[in-house]
Amino acid sequence: MSFSTLVKDELCRVELHNETCCMKSEIFGVILTGNLFSNEKNNRNIKMVTENAAFARRIYSTVRKVYGISPEVAIRRSSRLKKHVSYSVIFASMQLINKMLYDFGISAFSDKNNPAKKTLRKVCCKKSFLRAAFLSGGSISDPEKTYHLEISTRNCFCAELIRELLQEYGINVKIIVRKGNYVAYIKEGENIVDFLNIIGAHGALMELENVRILKDMRNSVNRIVNCETANLEKTVNASVRQVENIRFIRSSIGLDKLPENLVEIANLRLEYSEASLKELGEMLHPRLGKSGVNHRLRKLDEIADQLRDNLKRNTAK
């Protein structure tokens, strides 16, 4: 089951406790997001098509509860794939349509009529509207893969309304146009969690949080491992260079020409090429700290560089 289906199944079980205001807001959300107003002269109706049986049932019973009129329902099975079923909920009764439009602040079928926002004054109603918008046009990516939640609508006003409502909750929504649809989307994991909380998908929210925690843990473990590997590489590279330089000094002037403290560290480095600076320091008498050891080894690097320079100059003459 996809994560989207999981969220929608949960949303269809969210109880509205017979709050008429919220039930109306949910119907409003479905109709507006789906842009279900048919404006044909002889065929004025509102028709919702979905493959989600629970969603169809929810809208059917909500409309009947609020308006006391049952919508028509049609079930279609695609002929090729018998499993493919779609449900249409049709509001054909003019009486029902007029009642609904009045509630939403739309007096007649017209593209120019922007539904009044008076329907969505209360917090409970805003949440119901957003839930319906997601049920109608929403999808969410599997959080294991990526954080992406979107609501697609044919209605530009609806996309703007979704953005406005979510802005009130501090959720950052962007809108793009894709194949004639206005797609309002959320990218940040934290914003998606907030959205799921608002629309009441608390189970899905927990699921997503678990994935997020695991992902974060995996990332920080990777970061530590990468960091350690990088450090190890750095240490090994430095040691290889130091050993090379010490050997070069030995073969060109001999180590006994060096001050005693450098001879000591040079011999230790040759013997323990894999030891860390700290470990080398502990082998010295008296012991020496990491930076002291580093200082002496750098001195050896400088001497080797100088000797190479001299050699170059002499061969050039």
Binding-site ranges for Zn ion (CB under 5 A):
21-22, 122, 124-125
- The span from the CA of 203 to the CA of 47, in Å, is 30
Least Å from the CB of residue 40 to Zn ion: 32
Pick between residue 27 and residue 249 the one whose CB is nearest to Zn ion: 27
Pick between residue 63 and residue 186 the one whose CB is nearest to Zn ion: 63
- Is residue 55 a contact partner of residue 65, using CB atoms and an 8 Å limit? no
Least Å from the CB of residue 21 to Zn ion: 3
Residues 6 or more apart from 155 whose CB is under 8 A from it? 32, 33, 35, 182
- Is residue 223 a contact partner of residue 217, using CB atoms and an 8 Å limit? no
Pick between residue 122 and residue 287 the one whose CB is nearest to Zn ion: 122
Pick between residue 32 and residue 304 the one whose CB is nearest to Zn ion: 32
Pick between residue 92 and residue 124 the one whose CB is nearest to Zn ion: 124
Pick between residue 120 and residue 303 the one whose CB is nearest to Zn ion: 120
Q: Quick one: tokens of 308?
A: 């190479």
Residue 88 phi, psi dihedral angles, 5° rounding? -110, 130
Pick between residue 135 and residue 303 the one whose CB is nearest to Zn ion: 135
Tell which residue, 139, 137, 156, 157, has the closest CA to residue 148. 139
Least Å from the CB of residue 111 to Zn ion: 27
Least Å from the CB of residue 29 to Zn ion: 12
Torsion from C-alpha of 60, 62, 68, 70, nearest 10 degrees: 0
Least Å from the CB of residue 123 to Zn ion: 8
Longest dimension (CA), the chain: 108
Using left for φ > 0, alpha for ψ between -120 and 50, and beta otherwise, residue 147 falls in beta
Least Å from the CB of residue 175 to Zn ion: 26
Least Å from the CB of residue 119 to Zn ion: 9
Alpha helices in the chain (DSSP H): 3-11, 20-34, 53-67, 94-104, 123-137, 156-167, 189-199, 202-252, 260-271, 277-283, 290-316
